[in-house]
Structure 1
Amino acid sequence: MKAMILAAGKGERLRPLTLHTPKPLVRAGGVPLIEYHVRALARAGFTELVINHAWLGQQIEDYLGDGARFGVRIQYSPEGKPLETGGGIFRALPLLGDEPFLVVNGDIWTDCDFALLRRPLKGLAHLLLVDNPGHNSRGDFTLENGRVRDACEGDASLTYSGMALLHPQLFAGCSAGAFKLAPLLRAAMAEGRVSGEHFHGRWVDVGTHERLAEVEQLLAVPA
């Protein structure tokens, strides 16, 4: 199974750190955020990685190289301008192949054991959901009996973690260009083809200076 790290975000809310450094190379505990993912994926047995990039993306390639020093092989999917989550994955599909693959947002920090996701995929997607953080208190989706559906008002909801297994067929009928992943997931949910689970480990969406500081605090305390 291959894995893709989404690393094309510009990280405007992390300025000035991201004025001259791509968001995935912003450091927490002295280590670039994306390096935590690469090392965790290698530990989990993933040896073939795909990374997309846009803003200052060459710096990511220069830092990670071909992945050999981490025990993986990295291929890159450069984007002239950001294609958003869905468009970025769609562009990289020729590198990912015809089988289900793991996808993880490059701007999160987590202690997830990705080996737990190296398993067959039934349906078009399997999402890891987390308790709603303060910046997304309304949540995204509802999880019932292992199935994920769009959250309605009054439903107990959870937040999409940015970690998932996806099948290339989820993108059937898509065209090149910028588009979001969420509408594709919601369409598949309506057909009952999206499963999920509640992830209870440590997780931070590193979108602001405050949340970057939160990661620093977590790193200072053993799990």
Structure 2
Amino acid sequence: MRAIILAAGRGERMRPLTDTTPKPLLLVQGKPLIVWHIEALAAGGVRDIVINTAWLSEQFPATLGDGSRYGVRLHFSDESREPGGALETAGGIRKALPLLRDGGAESFWVASADVFVPGFRFDAEAAARFAADPQLDGRLWMVANSPHHPSGDFAIDAQGLALSERHGAAPEQPRLTWSCLGLFKARLFDALPLGQAVRLRHCLEDAIGRRALAAEAYHGAWTDVGTPERLARLNQAP
């Protein structure tokens, strides 16, 4: 089992902090935000982690090294020279598929580098069950809606599958917000055009329509580190 941490965004809402430092490398409680994911993935038995980069991409290997200090091997998928710049979430995963598949893996963890989830376990048994399930192309962990995203993203049906407004969610069904943590099969991204920007929502809707996207609630602490104010609150926490 491998993983990709999505870290290519410009971080416009975090300016001026991100004018000189990529958002995933900003310090949260004493260490770069992305390191919280790296350490949690290592604790879950993941040994190869891909990081896609674009904005100030040279700072990632300079800061993180080859991953040996964390007990992992880091691989960088650099999008900074793509004609249109960063490839969005799904486009970045499509570009990184050869790295994610190296060694024969066909499923992998995905985590966005700009969320802080200190208690989340990248559980190896859950990953193995997902890899062995022929029906599923993805599994999402969902969190309570935040004030800046009150409508949420997806509902969850009685079978534990994700529903969207386009595919089966009734207006009265409660929605949750995707935590930006999940498991995915490589085949979900195979048909995407290489080198083009594609958002992950496109792939998620496709999987929902085929009843191939599972979802479950996560009740631990979770923060979308999207503004300087949220970052400051995390760093003021005891």
1:169 corresponds in structure 2 to 187
Q: Give structure 1 stretches of 5+ with no counterpart.
A: none
Q: CA deviation at 1:213?
A: 2.5
1:194 corresponds in structure 2 to 213
Q: Distance in 1 between matches of 2:161 and 2:93?
A: 23
Q: Distance in 1 between matches of 2:208 and 2:41?
A: 27
Partner letter of residue 114 of structure 2? D
1:23 corresponds in structure 2 to 23
Q: TM-score, normalised by structure 2?
A: 0.88
CA offsets 1:87-138 (integer angstroms, 9 cap, x no match):
0000000000141100000000002011264332231000001010111100
1:118 corresponds in structure 2 to 127
1:88 aligns with 2:92: yes
Q: Distance in 1 between matches of 2:233 and 2:89?
A: 25
1:150 aligns with 2:158: no
Q: Distance in 2 between matches of 1:132 and 1:75?
A: 33
Q: Distance in 2 between matches of 1:195 and 1:40?
A: 22
Q: CA deviation at 1:141?
A: 0.2
Q: CA deviation at 1:217?
A: 4.2
1:130 aligns with 2:137: no
Q: Distance in 2 between matches of 1:216 and 1:180?
A: 30
Q: Which contiguous aligned blocks of 4+ residues in structure 1 show a shift greater than 6 angstroms?
A: none
Aligned with 1:57: secondary structure?
Answer: coil
Partner letter of residue 195 of structure 1? A
Q: Percent identity?
A: 42
Q: Distance in 2 between matches of 1:149 and 1:159?
A: 12
Partner letter of residue 113 of structure 2? G
| Equivalent residue for 1:140, pick from 145, 153, 162 | 153
Q: 1:118 to 1:217 in 2, by over 3 A?
A: farther
Q: Distance in 2 between matches of 1:93 and 1:158?
A: 28
Q: Give structure 2 stretches of 5+ with no counterpart.
A: none
Within 5 Å, which residues of 2 pair with 1:27-66?
27-66=27-66
Aligned with 1:118: secondary structure?
Answer: helix
Q: CA deviation at 1:214?
A: 3.2
CA offsets 1:156-212 (integer angstroms, 9 cap, x no match):
000011000000111132102101011111111011000111000111010011221
Moved more, 168-177 or 127-136: 168-177
| Equivalent residue for 1:178, pick from 189, 192, 197 | 197
Q: TM-score, normalised by structure 1?
A: 0.94
Q: CA deviation at 1:16?
A: 1.0
Partner letter of residue 139 of structure 2? H
Aligned-residue RMSD, C-alpha: 1.3
Paired residues of 2:94 and 2:190 also in contact (CA < 8 A): no
Partner letter of residue 82 of structure 1? A
